Every structure is written in structure tokens, then in C-alpha cells.
Amino acid sequence: MIESRDGRRVVITGLGVLAPCGTGAEDFWAGLRRPAEPVVDRRVVDFDPSRWGISHVEARRMDRFAQLGLAAAAQALADAGLDAQDGPYDAARCGIVLGTGIGGAYAWETQSKILFEKGPSRVSPLVVPTVMPNAASAMVSMRFGWRGPVETVVTACASGTHAVGNGARLVASGRCDAVLVGGSESCQTGVMSNGFRNMKALSATGISRPFDVDRDGFCSAEAGGVMVLEEASAAAARGAIAYAEVAGTASTADAHHITAPAPDGRGAIACMRAAMADAGLTAADVTHVNAHGTSTPLNDATEAASVLEVFGRTQPAVT
């Protein structure tokens, strides 16, 4: 079990997601199971900020990644049956930990264009709070009045997963009774899209096929995903449904290269083993591994070798 004070356990009681393949847990899952369309750039085409209580004025002051994060948080709280402002928990003991890899990419690119085309005096005074990566966490805090730790994790593709682990430790340690965790990203701007393309990281076919012999890269997409974490006994006392327990977490680094994994997979191997140790589990207990799966030659080969090293020939399902 995750290291905790007085045996506190952490459960997931609410789910919120907005993604190109579906909004809401049920539609999202159904979308994941459908065959993928060959699209290099995927967006949440039906996203309406006002549906999630974001006014037109507020939307103009928020980058799209923050809007998606706030909408996912609202959805997760509703799914958990939690009234954030009049619920069972002290707002000072409720936290928010969200991740993002880039932050306000659209605001940055838009304001850069204004600077060069119209001059310095036309740059928005709100550009800094709009661009900053912690804008989503801050907006969620202000919307729902949660005054505990409000933090942002920026660790590239691992940001959202790190946020879940950090939030779980806030609950397990006794600092918080509930924490909103997850992440959001929206960076299909000209600079970012072409940067990924020139890295040779994007699929030319528009289909991501991790671990396939014909894999040729990933597809760019935007999304927001947030979960509600609660202390297990408190969640049960209010009649909440626990989807799952966060039993253990871990975080490591390769200390190798800014984009390429270490060829020996040492970081991934150490991380999986540390997470299992934190949970008090062995490799034989694990039935599923959610892989990074970038569909790139370097990552997939190293990741497959890492899973083989940790779990042996009798491997769990990998998605």
C-alpha cells in the first residue's frame, strides 16, 4: 500500500474527460474501442466552454488547455457527487494537482504574432497569466474554492501521471481529504505542430500503432482528463463509489537524453519496480501495463524490453 499516515488509503471516486474520441467516461471508452481514423491532428471538435460554466469573458482570458482542464474537473466532481463549495470536506484540506507539458501554447503564439504585426503596445496584459502552465490549476481552485495545495506538474508526457501520484500522496499523508488530479493539453499551433513534425515524431499516415513493426510516430491531440481522489473511509462514509485504489506510485529519470530513452531502459525498469514495491505487490500481481507507447522506433523498442525485463515472458496486457 502507498506509504501513508495511519493506514490511509486513496481511492478514485470521480472521472472527467474531454478528448477527440469522446467526452465523458462512457463515450471516451467507446471511442477508444472504435477503429482509428487516419488523422494527424485530433481535436475536441464539439467543445463548448459555456456547457461547463465558462462564460465568454472567462474563455477569452483562458488558453484552451486551461478551459479543457476546468471542464474536466467540473465533470469529475459531478461524477463523484461532490459539491465542491458545500461538501463534506474543509476547503483548506482539498487540493488540486494538474499536469501539462506545454501550457498556453495558443496564447503564446497569438500574442507573438500581435507583437510582430502590431507592436509592443498591443500585446495583451493578460498574456502571462494566460500562458503560464499553472493557469489550469489556478482556475480550478478559484472556480471551486479549494484552498489546499494547488500545484502544477510539468514533466512532458508524464505530467498527468505524475500529478496523480503527487495528489495521491497528499491524501495518503493526511494533508488532504480530497484532491483533483490529472492534466490537460492543447498545443496544435503552427510552431508546436511543425516542431513535432520536424523532430520526425509525428506519424505521416495519421495512425499511431505502438509496438507495430510499421510504426512511424504518434498523432497530435488535445484533451483534458481529471479524477477525484479521496481518503477511502471518508469516501465510503458519504456513499461514494470507488472506481479503483491508488495502491502505489513511483517516479524516476533516465538521466540520458532530452527526448530519447536510455537504451537499457533503466529508468522505466526502476520506476515500475519501485511502484510495485510501494504498493506491496509483485510482478505476478500485475495484470495490465499502460505503456507510454509513442509509436516511435526508439521508445517502443526500449519500453518493450523494459516490460520484458520486469515481468518476464508471462507478461500482463499492454495498452
Residues 37 and 76: beta-carbon distance below 8 Å? no
User: How far lies 7's CA from each of 13, 90, 179, in Å?
Assistant: 19, 21, 18
Gap between the Cα atoms of 262 and 250, Å rounded? 18
Residues 6 or more apart whose Cβ sits within 8 Å of residue 288: 316, 317, 318, 319
Fold of 10-187+222-248: Peroxisomal Thiolase; Chain A, domain 1 (3.40.47)
CA distances 212 to 236, 295, 296, 303, 308, Å, are: 43, 8, 9, 13, 16
Interacting residues of 4 by C-beta distance below 8 A, sequence separation 6+? 10, 172, 173, 174
| pLDDT, average across residues 30-55 | 90
Mean pLDDT over the full length of the chain: 95
Measured CA distances, 12 to 63, 120, 225, 235, 309 (Å):
28, 47, 13, 9, 30
Helix (H, G, I), strand (E, B) or coil at 308: helix
Give the global pTM: 0.95
3-state secondary structure of 225: strand
Q: Per-residue pLDDT for 40 more than 80?
A: no
Pull the grid cell for residue 77: 466532481
Predicted local distance difference test score (pLDDT) of residue 6: 80
**How far is the C-alpha of 17 from the C-alpha of 273, rounded, in Å?**
29
Q: What is the pLDDT of residues 112-124, one digit of tens each?
A: 999 999 999 999 9
CA-to-CA dists, residue 302 to 102, 218, 221, angstroms: 25, 16, 24
Task: Work out the percent of the chain whose per-residue pLDDT is above 90.
Answer: 89
Query: Taking residues 46-60, what's their average pLDDT?
Result: 94
